[in-house]
Structure 1
Amino acid sequence: MTDERSRTAAGEGGVDLDLARALFPELAARVDAAYGRNRTGRREGGDGVDGREDSLDAWLDREAAGLRRSGTAGAAFGEIADDAARSRFERAFAAARKTVARAGLRLPEPELFADAGVDLAALGASAAGDAALVPVPAPHGLGAEGWLSLFDRATGGEAGRDPVALLLATEVLRGFPVLDEVHDAGVPRVRAAGAGGAAPGRATPGEEVVWTLRLVPAGDAPPVAGLGFAHGPHVSLPEMLMLQLMRLEAGEDPVDAHTFTWLAGVLAEGRLAARHVYDAGERAVRISVRETGNQGPHLGARPPVG
């Protein structure tokens, strides 16, 4: 089987034959041999070799598709040496995939993050060294309405659990485009269309959602506490919201029930910054603002890794 035929099958049917060939090398060799004989027979005017090429190709197609559906292929995170860390990546992507699917979004496959420049091996090593670090694939560019819609769908009746509200202060709504951005220029990005060709809550089809993948400290409280906004770096708003939604999807309690976390991006010409808290009594994630110089024992940073 030539590379050209593998690429064509993957592009038309959504099945990665290269993955199937890697998982079933002996059978792939038989396919290659059958294809070679079949091609010779066709040059001589024959009809092929009893349809073996087509049947073996179809089998590889079915096996690769089944592996993708079941999520058992494991090839995406094969660069991660530590078994426990690799399992955390797999669970994180499973939770994120279910979360965004409720709003019609499709989570990019791990291979796309790797192709964009994400060093999965390095992230895996960092995760192996700190159990509090959680892989968080996050969509940037949904807009305030998009995130409100995602929370409504991902935590409400469709999810089969008590809803968790997302409450945004007026200053946050006013400056949401700033908070919705990717602030670190060095972070790899995967660009994809939003739900139905447009981001949720957006009227214009074709607007891009920009995905990032970093590790976020996911302890109950920020690991760096008692300091002002200048002591970063800081997790982005989309990363923090996705972390909470992923935890809810996995049946875990939200973080920041008794603390606040600074969020990346400054508002009001640099005077204000956003902060995150989970209000357990109201079952609500609240995003408000404080002056950047504000500090206290319950306010801190969750420096992302990646």
Structure 2
Amino acid sequence: MEITSPNDQLRLVRSLFPNFAETLDAAHTEHGLAEAIPDQSGAGFDAWLDDEARQLREGALAGAPFATLPAAESSRFERAFAAARLVAQRSHLTLPEPEAFVEAGANLLALASKLAADPALVPVIAPYGLGPERWRELFRAAAEQQGSPLSGGEPLLLAAEAVDGFAILDSIPDVTSSRVEIALPEGGSVTWTLRLIPSSPKPPLLGLGFAHGPHVSLPEILMLQLMRIASGERPVDTESFTWLAGSLADGRLAARHVFDESEAVIRISCREIGNQGPHLGARPPVS
């Protein structure tokens, strides 16, 4: 789905909270407050709606998107979205609200049951379509965070093969994933997905070649690391490598991820798909 206008946003809010919308309409009519709402066709309304939504999220509706979930899983979703929002703000990106993913087909209750079954899983809200330089900007911003484990120089290093095949690595690997498309002010758009990613220090499946997937995508592993850093947590893959979805060089190569703690950088390198070893493995996503 694509949310590009204030009216789209208003329709989404009203469809998600019909009873609240009806009550609000009645209050506006009874107390003559309609004039307090700006014209719905311009930037003024957009800003007003954003402010109203923020106040609702921080007030009476705090946690509402996950209110029907068990407390532990609701908290895990809330923490994930809070961390992802911090990451997005650093690059002036708009993170979709949980309701947008629900409207796009995400089953939060089913995801919550999978979260409950595996404490290592983390909801990761990942953007596709940023391009290599925008990702580098995100990691430079993360390096400036107090106590960041990242180098202050260039904390995201992409191998030449990864840059050449970036369009493949930046494609959504699961066509069934719920996705939300948001237009960028400068043109173009970013597509966001929501999947559960294993966040254990090492991949849960080790010693396997690329054929043993499915694999986490490049945007998902990068976003997982940025979310962990934003939350003050240690990056994953300090002593291991994780295969990334998408084969390169006519199927001969695949990308892998590691956090090089000695250099304080994230490295995306490429190896032949048959390569395997005790420290190389997969983080199968769950959706």
Question: Do they fold alike, i.e. is TM over 0.5?
Answer: yes
Q: Per the alignment, in what secondary structure is the counterpart of residue 266 of structure 1?
A: strand
Taking the aligned partners of 2:220 and 2:280, their CA distance within structure 1 comes to: 18
- Residue identity in the other structure for 2:26: D
Shift of the alpha carbon at 1:54?
1.9
Q: Per the alignment, in what secondary structure is the counterpart of residue 269 of structure 1?
A: coil
2:180 to 167, 186, 190: 190
- 1:235 alignment partner in structure 2: 216
Shift of the alpha carbon at 1:300?
0.4
Taking the aligned partners of 1:289 and 1:9, their CA distance within structure 2 comes to: 42
- 1:113 alignment partner in structure 2: 101
Measured against aligned partners, the alpha-carbon deviations of 1:3-35 in whole angstroms (never above 9, x if no partner) come to: xxxx97963xx994677775699xx39x63884
Alpha carbons 2:14, 2:21 under 8 Å: kept: no
Taking the aligned partners of 2:130 and 2:195, their CA distance within structure 1 comes to: 18
Shift of the alpha carbon at 1:137?
0.1
Closer, same or farther in 2 for the Cα pair 1:303/1:145, shift >3 Å?
Answer: same
Taking the aligned partners of 2:27 and 2:121, their CA distance within structure 1 comes to: 47
Q: Per the alignment, in what secondary structure is the counterpart of residue 235 of structure 2?
A: coil
Taking the aligned partners of 2:128 and 2:57, their CA distance within structure 1 comes to: 26
Taking the aligned partners of 1:120 and 1:177, their CA distance within structure 2 comes to: 29
Taking the aligned partners of 2:107 and 2:234, their CA distance within structure 1 comes to: 29
Taking the aligned partners of 2:60 and 2:242, their CA distance within structure 1 comes to: 33
- 1:129 alignment partner in structure 2: 117
- Residue identity in the other structure for 1:124: A
Alpha carbons 1:228, 1:300 under 8 Å: kept: yes
Taking the aligned partners of 1:90 and 1:119, their CA distance within structure 2 comes to: 15
- 2:63 alignment partner in structure 1: 74
The structure, 1 or 2, with the larger RCO (C-alpha pairs under 8 Å, 6+ apart) is 2
Paired residues in the alignment total 266
Closer, same or farther in 2 for the Cα pair 1:280/1:15, shift >3 Å?
Answer: same
**Aligned ranges 1:162-241 → 2 under 5 Å:** 162=148, 163-164=150-151, 165-194=155-184, 197=185, 205-241=186-222
- 1:303 alignment partner in structure 2: 284
2:233 is the counterpart of 1:252: yes
Measured against aligned partners, the alpha-carbon deviations of 1:46-87 in whole angstroms (never above 9, x if no partner) come to: xxxxxx2428x88xx9876512256952221234x2211110
Shift of the alpha carbon at 1:281?
1.2
- 1:288 alignment partner in structure 2: 269
**Aligned ranges 1:54-93 → 2 under 5 Å:** 54=33, 65-69=54-58, 73-79=62-68, 81-93=69-81
- 2:143 alignment partner in structure 1: 156
Alpha carbons 1:15, 1:65 under 8 Å: kept: no
Closer, same or farther in 2 for the Cα pair 1:212/1:17, shift >3 Å?
Answer: closer
Closer, same or farther in 2 for the Cα pair 1:207/1:134, shift >3 Å?
Answer: same
Instruction: Tell which deviates more after alignment, 141-150 or 210-219.
Output: 141-150
Taking the aligned partners of 2:60 and 2:280, their CA distance within structure 1 comes to: 38
Taking the aligned partners of 1:8 and 1:256, their CA distance within structure 2 comes to: 43
Alpha carbons 1:183, 1:265 under 8 Å: kept: yes
Measured against aligned partners, the alpha-carbon deviations of 1:99-143 in whole angstroms (never above 9, x if no partner) come to: 111111010111111111111111111101111000000001111
Taking the aligned partners of 2:14 and 2:255, their CA distance within structure 1 comes to: 46
Shift of the alpha carbon at 1:152?
0.9
- Residue identity in the other structure for 1:74: G
Shift of the alpha carbon at 1:161?
3.8
Q: Per the alignment, in what secondary structure is the counterpart of residue 76 of structure 1?
A: helix
Unpaired runs of at least 5, structure 2: 1-5, 38-48
